[in-house]
Amino acid sequence: MSNKTTTWISFIIIAILVAVGLVLLPQLPDQVPSHWNDQGQVDGYSSKLTGVLLMPGILLATLLLLLVVPSIDPRRANIAKFRPQYNVFILCFVLFLAYLYILTLLAGLGIKFDMNRMLVPALGLLFIFVGSMVRHAKRNYMIGIRTPWTLHSNVVWDQTHKVGGIAFMIAGAFTMVTVFVPQFAFPVMMVSVLLVTVGTIVYSYLVYRQVENNSATNDSNE
């Protein structure tokens, strides 16, 4: 997907969200749901104007940041090598927040549903797309699994991101399965993210040690 296409589609989605929110504004109560706990129950409210405008504002700010990042990274040439996958991730992220916004508006209109059951499949898909992007990522300072060891070596970066990408995709699949047991969705998601995060950090160090040992062995044999 090209940069231009990604940008235009994302801005159009945000514009549609704002339009939908403003159209529904008169029908919303003065206080609308704005936060849910890990059991999918509403535990926070905001004014209806804030509820309508806050999410699109956050989405717009995040989108602008995601679009700027590739141009300010010193290794932007490497980002260009996986920019199509990065663009797909941007669009998936925009669609995820758009979906969350629509759910928030529906809740504000009084429509009853289990937020965990509705959100879990989307979160799982987002993790899977993150994993797909990570698998293609080339060494840079802004996007990917950035540890001292991955940033030090292309070999360590590539091996860590290959394994880490698969791990993210597996975490996404596990998260999606919890749609059948929504009461466990939050714990499973948190444990999955923690395991992937810690696991990739440790793995990057182990690969770094292996690369260094092999280099030292080759030097001693010369």
pLDDT above 60 for 222: no
Helix (H) or strand (E) holding 47: strand 42-47
Q: List, as one string, the DSSP characters of 52-115.
A: HHHHHHHHHHHHHHHHHHHHHSTTHHHHHHTHHHHHHHHHHHHHHHHHHHHHHHHHHTT----H
pLDDT band at 155 (very low <50, low <70, confident <90, very high): very high
pLDDT at res. 195: 94
Residue 144's identity, in one-letter code, is G
Mean of the pLDDT values across residues 47-74? 94
Question: What is the average pLDDT score of the chain?
Answer: 91
Cα distance between residue 82 and residue 203, in whole Å: 22
pLDDT band at 180 (very low <50, low <70, confident <90, very high): confident
Q: Is 50 helix (H, G, I), strand (E, B) or coil?
A: helix
Mean of the pLDDT values across residues 36-60? 88
Percent of the chain, pLDDT > 70?
Answer: 97
| Residues 202/145, Cβ–Cβ less than 8 Å | no
Q: Is 54 helix (H, G, I), strand (E, B) or coil?
A: helix
pLDDT in tens, 108-137: 999 988 888 888 899 999 999 999 999 999
